[in-house]
Structure 1
Amino acid sequence: MKNLTAEERAAIAEIEVTSNILRLTTRLTRMRFAAISKMTDTHWVACAVHDELQFGVNVGDELLIEATLCNQLRLARKPIVIEHASLDPVFSEHPLPKHHGFESYISLPIVFADGTVFGTLCALDTLPRKLENPETMELLSIFTRLIGTTLDLQRKTV
Structure 2
Amino acid sequence: MLNFKFWSVITILIPLNELQFYKNFDELAKDILEMAKETMPDRLIYLTSLTKKQQIILKLSESNEKIAINEGMVIKINETVCNRIDFENNAPLVFEDMSREANLDDLRQALVAANINSYLGIPIILSNGDTFGTLCAVHTNAKKINKKSITMLQRIAKLFSYYLDLERLAYRDSLTGLYNRQFLYKYFEESSTTGGALLFLDLDGFKKINDLYGHETGDLVLREVALRLENFVQLHQGFAVRLGGDEFVINLVDLTSRVEISKLADLLLSRLSTWDTQLEAFNLSVSIGIVLYPAGENNLLKVLLKNADNALYRAKANGKNGYQFF
- Category of TM-score, reference length = shorter chain: 0.7 to 0.9
In structure 1, what is the equivalent of residue 56 of structure 2? Answer: 45
Gap runs ≥5 in structure 2: 1-14, 172-326
- Is structure 2 residue 126 aligned with structure 1 residue 126? no
Contact 1:73 1:109 in 2 (8 A): yes
Q: Summarize deviations over 1:2-21 as a string: whole Å, max 9, x none.
A: x512x313538436342232
Contact 1:73 1:79 in 2 (8 A): yes
Q: Summarize deviations over 1:15-42 as a string: whole Å, max 9, x none.
A: 6342232233234234432111110000
Gap runs ≥5 in structure 1: none
- Is structure 2 residue 128 aligned with structure 1 residue 111? no
TM-score, with normalisation over the residues of structure 2?
0.43
CA apart distance, 1:64: 0.8
CA RMSD after TM alignment: 2.5
In the alignment, the residues of structure 2 paired with residue 129 and residue 12 of structure 1 have an alpha-carbon distance, to the nearest angstrom, of 36
1:1-158 equivalences in 2 (<5 Å): 3-5=15-17, 7-11=18-22, 13-14=24-25, 16-54=27-65, 55-73=67-85, 77-88=90-101, 90-91=103-104, 94-95=107-108, 96-131=110-145, 133-158=146-171
In the alignment, the residues of structure 2 paired with residue 10 and residue 61 of structure 1 have an alpha-carbon distance, to the nearest angstrom, of 20
Q: Which has the higher contact order (CA 8 A, sep 6+)?
A: 1
In the alignment, the residues of structure 1 paired with residue 151 and residue 23 of structure 2 have an alpha-carbon distance, to the nearest angstrom, of 22
In the alignment, the residues of structure 2 paired with residue 88 and residue 12 of structure 1 have an alpha-carbon distance, to the nearest angstrom, of 40
Contact 2:32 2:160 in 1 (8 A): no
In the alignment, the residues of structure 2 paired with residue 35 and residue 91 of structure 1 have an alpha-carbon distance, to the nearest angstrom, of 21
Contact 1:85 1:92 in 2 (8 A): no
In the alignment, the residues of structure 2 paired with residue 72 and residue 12 of structure 1 have an alpha-carbon distance, to the nearest angstrom, of 31
CA apart distance, 1:99: 3.9
Number of equivalences: 154
Say if 1:70 and 1:136 are closer, same or farther in 2 by CA, change over 3 A.
same
In structure 1, what is the equivalent of residue 260 of structure 2? Answer: none
CA apart distance, 1:53: 2.4
Which amino acid letter does the alignment assign opposite residue 81 of structure 1? V
Q: Summarize deviations over 1:24-71 as a string: whole Å, max 9, x none.
A: 323423443211111000010112112342234333221111110111
SS in 1 for 2:85: helix
SS in 2 for 1:11: coil
Q: Percent identity?
A: 24
CA apart distance, 1:123: 1.5
Say if 1:98 and 1:59 are closer, same or farther in 2 by CA, change over 3 A.
closer
Which amino acid letter does the alignment assign opposite residue 85 of structure 1? M
Say if 1:12 and 1:51 are closer, same or farther in 2 by CA, change over 3 A.
farther
Contact 2:54 2:74 in 1 (8 A): yes
Contact 2:123 2:134 in 1 (8 A): yes
Say if 1:113 and 1:64 are closer, same or farther in 2 by CA, change over 3 A.
same
